Amino acid sequence: MNSNLPHVVGVIRAVLESVRPEQATAVAQALDTARLLVDPERTFGAVLHRTPTGGWSRTRSAATDLERQALAWDAACARARSVAHSIEHHLARHQGPSGVRVDGDRVRVLLRVDGPAQWADWRAYLGITVVREGDRPHTVIGEGERGGVRVAVVARGAATEHRQPRPFRLDGATYDLTVPQRDAHGDTWYFQGCRNHDGMPLMSIDGRPERCSLANVAAHLGPLTPVPQHEGTTPGPTPRPTPPTVTALPPAPPLAPASAPRSLPLMASTSLPPLAPGSVLLSAPLMAPACGSTGAVTALPPAPPTPPACGPTRPVG
């Protein structure tokens, strides 16, 4: 509570004799709430700063080395964001795929380059001083500085039909890396732009993920011969065989009329001799007599009786 409140209440009461004590107190409280009264016993908080030794101090000490590094890093990141914004605005006026990304205190740029003249303009704009060949085909990597910010550039060019030769000398022989190489077994090897840590080109058979160094291919599968550009190294589609033409078959010759069955010669006598008692007459076709036999007909013996069917029999009443 402000210790000046009773004194203010007495002043208000003396000035306004007709004001009751409750009203004077209310007026004094309102003045104090509005910060119009000064409290003589009020204490203001002190701002303390951490010292390098771990203590506290009322005065700010000099920044430490770590704090200075942090402040410098924040300023460098802010400059990188500003430079990236300006580069992105400049890229918007050029055709082709492109991109800008801030990586801490540096800027990474991906752009499309069509021709040496355009690449020279980009080198001057981005301050590129170091250029090297990328791992991928038709890719160039450059490093420079713009506005005090380090810039890393990956430039990709369109594949052209007429490629510049890229000679590579190995054991006294010079190989053009832009031309496929055929080994002694007839396989064709291609350079896809990848190299070893020592710069040795890595070759691969088209369509396979395995890679082998040019030195090993030349040593174990050599000699290597370049494949001419006009020679197709990729087999074309196999033509589908033409179906044979169906020709009409000649009409079948007319069938000869069926010959009538040869009739049996008539016997000399069609009358049968009288049967003996107990003989059975079989209704069998008459057979033609064999050559040299007489025309007599012999009756066949009676057929044996048919055995009864298996299974129980039911008496017939």
- In the chain, where the domains are located: 71-157, 167-226
Mean pLDDT over 38-61 rounds to 74
Question: Which of the listed ranges 42-51, 131-140, 168-177 does the model predict with the highest average pLDDT?
Answer: 168-177
What is the model's pLDDT at position 43? 64
More confident: 275 or 216 = 216
pLDDT band per the 50, 70, 90 thresholds, residue 73: very high
Q: How far is residue 17's CA from residue 11's CA, in Å, rounded to a whole number?
A: 10
Strand partners, 211: none
Average pLDDT over the chain, rounded to whole?
A: 71
Q: Which of 157, 160, 202, 197 is nearest to 181 (CA)?
A: 202
What is the model's pLDDT at position 208? 66
Determine contact, residues 214/202, Cβ cutoff 8 Å: yes
Query: What is the assigned CATH class of domain 71-157?
Result: alpha beta
Burial of residue 77, with CB atoms counted within 10 A of its CB: 0-12 exposed, 13-18 middle, 19 or more buried: middle
More confident: 165 or 151 = 151
Query: Lowest-pLDDT range, 30-39, 88-97, 180-189, 242-251?
Result: 242-251
pLDDT band per the 50, 70, 90 thresholds, residue 81: very high
Residue with tokens 């409280």: 29
Sign (positive or negative) of CA dihedral 230, 232, 238, 244: positive
What is the model's pLDDT at position 257? 54
What is the model's pLDDT at position 69? 92
Q: Quick check: helix, strand or coil at residue 111?
A: strand
Q: Quick check: helix, strand or coil at residue 194?
A: strand
Question: Which of the listed ranges 21-30, 115-124, 157-166 does the model predict with the highest average pLDDT?
Answer: 115-124
Q: How far is residue 304's CA from residue 309's CA, in Å, rounded to a whole number?
A: 15
The end-to-end CA distance of the chain, in Å, is: 139
Query: Lowest-pLDDT range, 94-98, 120-124, 240-244, 272-276?
Result: 240-244
Determine contact, residues 112/182, Cβ cutoff 8 Å: no
Residue with tokens 């007319």: 254
